Structure 1
Amino acid sequence: MSLRQRIPFRAADDDDGRHVLDETEQEELIETLRNQNSQSSHQAIILLDVVLACATLLQVVFLLKDPKQSPLFALFPPSSWDAMPAPVLLTILAFLLHANLVLHVHPTLIPASMPLPLSYATSYALALVAPTLSIFLGRVWQTTAWTFAPAAVVGLVHSVHSTLREGDAALAELETLKYNAPGA
């Protein structure tokens, strides 16, 4: 015969575990969340600045070296390769896309009279010109991957920028949900 320990039943308290915040506690919570959002946004913008700087530096190196071949050739040398047509023009397009992305990340840099930055849809379309051309011309995969780099940077900036805007929108929505709880 085995003995089992008896655990007595405990009635739940009337309190369901929810604490009603008064106006001051709501303000403090929202201010804390606003500070955390601001800090994480600042860190994300610094990360995007670093990515854009590195991507631009790689394009400068590509522009200055001769022959104009994919930097991936150093890691994965092809047996033979053909150069992309107008590599300087495509690199300048990549520079313009990176500058456009900087304007998305730092909108205060835009003078009021300029219609920039271009939309993300336009940026994607322009960034995909070079890889599409590379695929249609049958270039080696290293060249296609290199020409896809600006599109990948556009995708990264768009994703992070969207997340930052969602965080700001969530805080604004939280502001509208404040309630009046006298005596809470």
Structure 2
Amino acid sequence: MHEYYPAAPAPKGHLIAADGRKVSVAELYLHRPVLLQFSRHLGCVFCIDHAKQLLKHYEMLQRHGLDAALVIMGGAQEAQEFHDRLNLTYPVYGDPDQSVYKAFNVPRGNVWQVAGPQLWWEGLKALSRSGIGRPRGDLMQLGGTYLIDTNGQIVWSFRPSSSVEFPNIDEIVVAADTLSPIADA
């Protein structure tokens, strides 16, 4: 579910860039607000599909004043492979020990939430659109989405209750527009 915050400080932590550099979370929102998307395990059909949907809307998000970054459970090599395989134009960062996931309190699920029969139809649709990868990482980890302003405040978030749930792009745009003037022309 989405949450609007009176603004809460973004947790600190470090990620691994696809080129192997250690990057602080604070660097991601230094110049522009960032939409920080935490992915599930690397083979998650829903996450692959969502990464492609984020790519489809990335230019629009930029026009609304946002950068975007995807965090995966892996190192630099996995981040680069994920980025290249999906031809993403936004950066992918690794969090191999999930310390940043934990700092942001990204939710974990149970078997029903990550693979229950109520998810199968949506899973087949996502599989047909985007394919599947080999499951690697914490299979019970859910995703999470956080909008962080340039002051380091989380101003909006989405914490799913199942592996199929991702935020609506329109809700993200509305939240982004509260931070800066609309640049949609």
TM over 0.5: no
Q: TM-score range, shorter-chain basis?
A: under 0.3
Structure in which a larger fraction of residues adopt helix: 1
Q: Please, what TM-score do these two structures have when normalized by structure 2?
A: 0.23
Structure in which a larger fraction of residues adopt strand: 2
Q: Please, what TM-score do these two structures have when normalized by structure 1?
A: 0.24
Report the structure number with the largest CA radius of gyration: 1
